[in-house]
Amino acid sequence: MSAELQPLIPTTDQRAKMAYVYIRQSSLMQVTRHGESTELQYSLVQRAVALGWPRERVELIDEDLGKSGAHAEIRGGIQRLLAEISLARVGLVLSFDASRLARNNRDWYQLLEVCSIFGTLIADGQRLYDPRLSHDRLLLGLSGMMSEAELHQLKQRMQAGARHKAERGELRQGLPVGLARGPAGEVILNPDEEVQARIRLVFEKFQEIRSAGGVMRYLRAAHLPLPARPRVGPAPYEVVWQPARTSAILDILHNPAYAGAYVYGRKLLDPARRTPTHPAGGRLLQPLDKWEICLHTRYPAYITWEEFVANQAQLRTNSLRYREERPGVARKGQALLQGIVRCGRCGALFHLHYSGPQGECPEYRCSADQSQFGGTDGQRVRALALDTQVEQRFLEALRPDQVALALAALAHLEQEEMAENKQWERRLERARSQAKRAERQYQAVEPENRLVARSLEKQWEERLRAVETVEKEYHAWKASRFGTFTQADREAVVALGSDLPALWQAATTTNTERKQMLRLVIREVIVDSKRAEGQVWVQINWQTGAQEQFWYQRRVNSYAVFTGTQALEQRVRELNAAGLMDAQIAATLEREGYQTPGLVHPITSKIVCHLRARWKIPTVKLNNNQQNPAQWEDGSYSVEGAAAKLGVSQDTIFTWLKTGRLKGERLGRSMPWKIYVTKDDERRLDAWLRCQGRRTRRSQREAL
């Protein structure tokens, strides 16, 4: 008779090992409400004893109660069981059915393979299996497949029912902290006024700052925590207050329930994004157009649906992705047009590049044509020059409205002060009410019940300390604020706001604030630096829809492409014809605002001399281009006159001027020298020549 057809009886070696009874329920609700099923699984211990294992060698694994069998990674019990089998310590594994051990084929066949290698038997509520036998292996495989198919069918029916219920808006969903359920199950605003005020403050500040990180920094600076409702323990969940975090603010901004919308299918599960450290992760937020169900006006709203859609668009824009037309939020770098300057040739947004030893030279670059289509090198525009041009027009555009802007800023400051003060008053009111409640609880306890009285007394003291802490923080905040605006304060604010250029250039105004102001007025700036040599074409698209175009000179390396070359040459010729020397010409050009191609270096006499040589303009000399006299009118000598007076060659005079033995000056290059020779200089130089032996030889030559 074949071994596979004989009744399966555990061997002595198998009985010498341990028998493990694996117990699992899929959820905590099943554990609490389906007690009979759990008891039935615990009774498998008696079946292990009936198969020949002593009771002390039968071990229970029940730490996976309340965990789903869809994945083995989150179940510590099944992992421990596999480890024990791999160490050849297990002779029998008992479970009520295959679905208790695994709900997917990958985990099920891994268990079968390990058991077949180490000779471990598998038993359910009806029979005993040996994974090493082909018939038993086939039955176990079919059992695992049916278990997985059953789970699939269950999920399909439950998801279809949930979707059908969600289409009517009746599927009960978790609510954010700003909403709550009333006694009849209806959705209402959170009855806590402080919670409502804090949620509204987040939306108001996002409309103003346009950045979740900026809202977080504002709340942190104002010492205003955010409400949260952790889903820990049984419902109803308690509201707790936590320091502001960017992730918490993003959760508020992304949640459509605050706009009164009932949404189903807002997140998509992507198993590929799950990690062992986050087995429940992998949920991706879907864009609005991919939500399966969206029913408006089902909840009381904090903002309108249009405001919610605008917030989502702003959050997408805040992520820096130039190729997706996302310029990002205003940052603290020097480039004021970061994210809003566009190439005038291909239409792509300029990238920002910083160069220099300390990154002090920002530059706008466009390489889309080169990288995408294999074209030539794209545009490069120096940021500081372009920013200066746009900044001037921005301030000029706001000049007529400066007083109105100052008054609006004053009103905004007063409203912000009042709003923050109300937030602090609600926080203080909460702390004091909790202290009063703790006091009433302590007063209500029987004096003889000291065990309870001591705990309530300690709780009361903690609440009183919390009130004291909040009051100190409130007074510190109030001391750092403006307080009540007096008439003098109002006049000072209006005067400061009326001088917008001074406020713009103030050291206290950050680059981030300047960029935010620019973006409120300017939608985008289009630039083309290759339309004309040495010039940059710019078009400003204002938020009002108006457009403004202009040109400005750019920095170049050559006078050949410099746009001001012709005017500069004409002016140099005029000044040279008027008899001005190089230093005088340079001073006149600087005073009249002429510039070099680099636009940063001043015009000096050396530059004028170079330009004259380039344009073949003759030099203006002291003697009107005639032969130099021996002595000038002021008593100084020319090179020829000094050489004759001292009895040396002109080369020697030039050497003495270079080494400092003689003192002289000239007004510019190619200009004659004025050499100052005194009696002391004559005696000193004559003595030096005699010491060198040169005077004797020269005297002999003169004598011959």
What residues act catalytically?
26
Measured in whole angstroms, how far is the alpha carbon of residue 207 from the centre of its chain?
Answer: 18
Q: Put the strands of the sheet holding 380-382 in their side by side order.
A: 351-355, 361-365, 380-382
Rounded-to-integer distance, Cα 102 and Cα 6, Å: 28
Rounded-to-integer distance, Cα 151 and Cα 100, Å: 12
| Sign of the alpha-carbon dihedral angle for 342, 347, 349, 354 | negative
CB atoms within 10 A of CB 691: 9
- Given a contact cutoff of 8 angstroms between Cβ atoms, the answer to whether 86 and 116 are in contact is no
- Given a contact cutoff of 8 angstroms between Cβ atoms, the answer to whether 215 and 249 are in contact is yes
- Given a contact cutoff of 8 angstroms between Cβ atoms, the answer to whether 59 and 42 are in contact is no
| Interior angle at CA 489, CA 486 and CA 494, nearest 5 | 130
- Given a contact cutoff of 8 angstroms between Cβ atoms, the answer to whether 405 and 500 are in contact is yes
Query: Which amino acid appears at position 243 of this protein?
Result: P
DSSP one-letter code for 222: T
Query: Which amino acid appears at position 1 of this protein?
Result: M
- Given a contact cutoff of 8 angstroms between Cβ atoms, the answer to whether 74 and 281 are in contact is no
Among residues 371, 481, 366, the alpha carbon closest in space to that of 418 is found at 481
**Long-range pairs of 475-480 with CB within 8 A, sequence gap ≥ 24:** 477/222, 477/223, 477/420, 477/424, 478/421, 478/424
CB atoms within 10 A of CB 507: 5
- Given a contact cutoff of 8 angstroms between Cβ atoms, the answer to whether 178 and 195 are in contact is yes
Rounded-to-integer distance, Cα 548 and Cα 541, Å: 7
Per the structure block, which two tokens stand in for 692? 């060198």
- Given a contact cutoff of 8 angstroms between Cβ atoms, the answer to whether 359 and 368 are in contact is no
Among residues 141, 138, 135, 129, the alpha carbon closest in space to that of 2 is found at 135
- Given a contact cutoff of 8 angstroms between Cβ atoms, the answer to whether 689 and 695 are in contact is yes
| Sign of the alpha-carbon dihedral angle for 438, 442, 444, 445 | positive
Peptide linkage before 236 cis (omega within 30 of 0)? yes
Determine if residue 210 is left, alpha or beta; phi over 0 gives left, psi from -120 to 50 gives alpha, anything else beta: left
Element (H, E) at 560: none
Q: How many CA atoms lie within 13 A of 638 on its CB side?
A: 15
- Given a contact cutoff of 8 angstroms between Cβ atoms, the answer to whether 632 and 622 are in contact is yes
Rounded-to-integer distance, Cα 686 and Cα 48, Å: 128
